[in-house]
Amino acid sequence: MQESLTNISKHALAKAVAVEVHQHAGTIHLSIEDNGRGFNPSQNTTGFGLQGMRERTAALGGEFNLYSQPKAGCRISITFPLSKLLP
């Protein structure tokens, strides 16, 4: 979540951000969405922030999805097993 909010602050020029966290059936779902300028994910391959989010999600056995397009904001959706967070 922190990396997402940092990226929004630095790059998105967003006027609004929505953060949702839900627990259901042994999973945690995190969604971060902004109404900023968006980007083409297939052309943005140089950032370490997004790659780091993907790697941390994978380390928790989770699924990382990014939805964005120019002038249409961005949404990051992450789901992972709750068991990976509990001792």
Residue 54 DSSP symbol: H
- Which amino acid type is present at position 82? L
Q: How far apart are CA 35 and CA 74, in angstroms?
A: 7
Domain 2-84: which CATH class?
alpha beta
Output the pLDDT for position 41: 87
Nearest 5°: the CA angle 22, 62, 3 is 75
Output the pLDDT for position 8: 92
Q: For residue 17, which of 1, 2, 34, 30 has the smallest C-alpha distance?
A: 34
Mean pLDDT for each 10-residue chunk of the chain (87 residues)?
Answer: 91 96 95 96 76 92 95 96 83
Output the pLDDT for position 44: 64
How many beta carbons lie within 10 A of that of residue 74, not counting itself?
A: 24
How many beta carbons lie within 10 A of that of residue 8, not counting itself?
A: 21
Output the pLDDT for position 31: 98
pTM of the model: 0.88
